[in-house]
Structure 1
Amino acid sequence: MLKLWNKDRIAIATETLKGVSSKVIEALENRPVYIRLRGLACMRGSPAKAYVLHIPVEEVGGEGRLLRACQVIIDAFVEAGLVLQRDAHHSLKLHATLMNAKFRKRNKSAGRRDYFDARGIFKRYGSENWGEYFIPEAHLSQRFAYDRRGYYHCCASMPFLGASKSSDF
């Protein structure tokens, strides 16, 4: 998550993403990317006291092309000064968030970090195979801003195949 708190930083991030497009396509070996979603995991805590419940993302084929491409983007954002120093050395965890206690409706005066019991969810869905998916592009999405379909607003996108049109920027 980048902290892009104004239009200037969003513009820098957009240009940075645009500038690494060819390096990303090279890291992906100009081949399509497919991912597999399988199982469940907690970002922090345990299933009994979960804060974030997510599905781990695996690259189909396990070649590491997607992680290499992501690292190209991360390195470019770090170089552009868009990553906070405390976040610069965190490792990337590809995942699909299902539940986040941070957004749970609760009594705000409790003054403590909220969690939820996910043991029942793990028991029922913990080894579920959620399917394989083609990933055509990367999006730079803006939190708290949504498009007409309810998805995060896409500030910029980068196609993952060289044959795709580059006018998506």
Structure 2
Amino acid sequence: MSREILAPPLQRLDNNRCYRINLIHEDFGNQLAAMQRQRQPESKKSENTYTEQDLYNEDDDDEQEEGADFILEELPNSYYKLTLHVAQSFYGGLIGFKGTTKRRIESETQTDIYVPRSRDGGGGQKKAEDVSIKGKTRSSVMAARRKINLLLVSLRKRMRPTHFTCVALNYGEVKEKYSDFKAQILALNLPGIDENLFQADECIHLTLCVCVLLDEAERAKAVEVLQSCKAFLADLHTPFQVQVRGLEIMNDDPSAVRVLYACIEAPELQKFANSAMQPFLRSGLGVDDHERDAVKLHMTVMNNRYRKQIDDKAAGAFDAREILKRFGDYDFGKVECSEVHLCALHSSEKGAFYKVTGSLKF
């Protein structure tokens, strides 16, 4: 019978307390950690610390492939050091109240984490530093990185999106018919309906994914992710044929609507959109509160938020019953799509589309 069962290693604490150290089956990757504990001097064993078991260290090699967002190096003193970029806006969340979050991650993974001080705005001459993680083992450093990434994903979800990937529809037949649609509705003089509710003619589009990009490095990474989506076009017919027809609302009450949108028929674009959403989510830059498997393709026509931005005292919704009754099957026409843009939200100026950060052309 195994000696670990007949005479298990013990950990002695103060007040005459003595605990048996349970060895975890090697399938869970913790056997080495158990052997290291046995070899530790008694003074080290008595420390009241806890190292969280990392059940995912078999994924570490996959994370070292080309395009990884970190640098891992082995130092001369047999320590490992990992550096990764973290936007300055996340420093406070990573450190936590009086450093509690940072200390918790360090304690759970037995690592030391360095978070740069926030830059004081001294002319932007000093190069931004990266967050670094130092530990005795590669697995502990990678475990700390995963915890930091999960924390950043959680923090990012609480922020307002800054960018979005989209297909512009502000040209050709769709733009012409959209202008006619808006003119016909305004000519009816319906109660509570005014021009401020409508999307600008130059800005009509369909959104594929929204992102939170907080600095230049994150914007550059998002453009790289967008370019990588070119691989999804191999088995699709391009340019995409996009049919815009019919109206729907985002809620269930047509008498109190916040968003009225036009429906999109584009099977090939739908396949691309579903695939292209995943790299942005995996990168941590994209956000999806609904955790959908498929992108809902639509072209926003009227949004009460547009009116509230101009007049914060405006009503919180509008009555769309007459619009749906008269224009529910309105045909906005067809266009061909040959590029996808990464744009900054709320960046449109009068007579112009949103500011484009990067594009994927095909």
On whether the aligned pair clears a TM of 0.5, the verdict is yes
Q: 8 Å contact 2:274–2:293 — kept in the other structure? A: no
Contact (CA 8 Å) 1:37, 1:130: kept in 2 or not? yes
CA contact (8 A) 1:50 1:115 kept: yes
Structure 1 partner of 2:225: 16
Q: 1:76 and 1:133, CA in 2 relative to 1: closer, same or farther beyond 3 A?
A: same
Measured after TM superposition, the shift of residue 131 of structure 1 is 0.6
Q: Secondary structure at the match of 2:272?
A: helix
Alpha-carbon offset, residue 47 of structure 1: 1.9
Deviation at 1:85, TM superposition (A): 6.2
Q: CA deviation at 1:27?
A: 4.2
Candidates 205, 215, 222, aligned match of 1:6: 215
- 2:236 and 2:349 mapped to 1: Cα distance? 29
Alignment partner, residue 233 of structure 2: 25
> Unpaired segments of 5 or more residues in structure 1?
161-169
- TM-score normalised by the chain length of structure 2: 0.39
Contact 1:27 1:65 in 2 (8 A): no
2 CA distance for matches of 1:6 and 1:74?
A: 21
Could you report, residue by residue, the CA deviation over 1:32-86 in whole angstroms, capped at 9, with x for unpaired residues? 2111111100022432111100001101xxxx32122112211110111112363
Distance 1:148 1:93 in 2: 27
- Partner AA of 2:236 in structure 1: L
Superposed, which structure 2 residues align to 1:46-125 within 5 Å? 46-59=253-266, 64-84=267-287, 86-89=289-292, 91-105=294-308, 108=312, 114-125=316-327
With over 3 angstroms needed to count, the CA separation of the structure-2 counterparts of 1:108 and 1:155, relative to structure 1, is same
Q: Aligned partners of 1:107, 1:156: CA distance in 2, in Å?
A: 32
Give 1:82's aligned amino acid: L
Aligned pairs, how many?
A: 152
Paired position in structure 2 for 1:137:
339
The answer as to 2:240 corresponding to 1:37 is no
> Against the structure 1 CA distance between its residues 104 and 147, is the aligned structure 2 distance closer, same or farther, given a 3 Å change threshold?
closer
The separation in 2 between residues aligned to 1:155 and 1:8, in whole angstroms, is 12
Q: Which amino acid aligns with 1:24?
A: F
Give structure 2 stretches of 5+ with no counterpart.
1-209
RMSD, aligned α-carbons: 2.4
**Are the counterparts in 2 of residues 45 and 51 from structure 1 also a CA contact under 8 Å?**
no
In the other structure, the counterpart of 1:146 is: 348
Query: Residues 90 and 44 from structure 1, CA distance in 2 versus in 1: closer, same or farther, beyond 3 angstroms?
Result: farther
1: CA distance between counterparts of 2:293 and 2:259?
Answer: 17
Give, in whole Å, the separation in 1 of the partners of 2:235 and 2:350. 33
Deviations 1:143-164 (A, max 9, x none): 122368421111111123xxxx
From the superposition, tell whether residues 20 and 45 of structure 1 become closer, same or farther in structure 2 (CA, over 3 Å): same
Q: Percent of pairs identical after alignment?
A: 28
**How far 1:107 sits from its partner (Å)?**
6.0
- CA change 1:85–1:54 in 2 (3 A) is closer
In structure 2, relative to structure 1, the CA distance for the partners of 1:97 and 1:7 (3 Å cut) is same
1:85, 1:129 → 2: CA distance?
29
- Residue 128 (structure 1) aligned with residue 335 (structure 2): no
| Equivalent position amino acid for 2:242 in 1 | I
Shift of 1:142: 0.8
Larger radius of gyration: 2
Relative to structure 1, is the Cα distance of residues 32 and 74 closer, same or farther in structure 2, using a 3 angstrom cutoff?
same
Residue 50 of structure 2: aligned partner = none
Tell me the residue number matched to 1:166. none
